[in-house]
Structure 1
C-alpha cells in the first residue's frame, strides 16, 4: 500500500510541476474554451483503467503462484 501511495504522490507532484508551464498556447486555448477539463478527465480515466487492470492482473498472478506452490 505504501508503494501505491508513493506512486500517486509522485504522479500528482510531477503533474503539478508540468502544469506550471504557461507558455503553451494550445493549453491556453483549451482552458479558455473549457475543454481542458475533458482532456484531464480522459487522462484520469485511462490511468485509472490501467491501474485497475494491473491490480487485477497482480491478484490473479498471486492466486496462480499459490496454486503452483501448493502442487509442489
Structure 2
C-alpha cells in the first residue's frame, strides 16, 4: 500500500473516532434534555450517517460489507 494512502486512512479513522464520542458527550456538555436532546441527537446521527457513508465509499465497500460498516460506524458515532 502507498504510505500516503495509509496516512490518509489513519487521519480519516482518527476523525471518525473523535466523532464517535461526540454526540452523547456534546449533548451532555450542552446539558440538553427532552426534545432539545432528541433533536440534537437526530441531527448528529444524520451527520454521522453521511460521514460513515463517505468513509464506506472511500473504502470502496458495497452490499453487506457497506451496510455492516455503516451500522457500526453510526452506532459508535452516536455513542450507543
TM value normalised by structure 2:
0.40
**Higher relative contact order (CA closer than 8 Å, sequence separation 6+):** 2
Q: Point out the structure with max Rg over C-alpha.
A: 1
Q: TM-score, normalised by structure 1?
A: 0.43
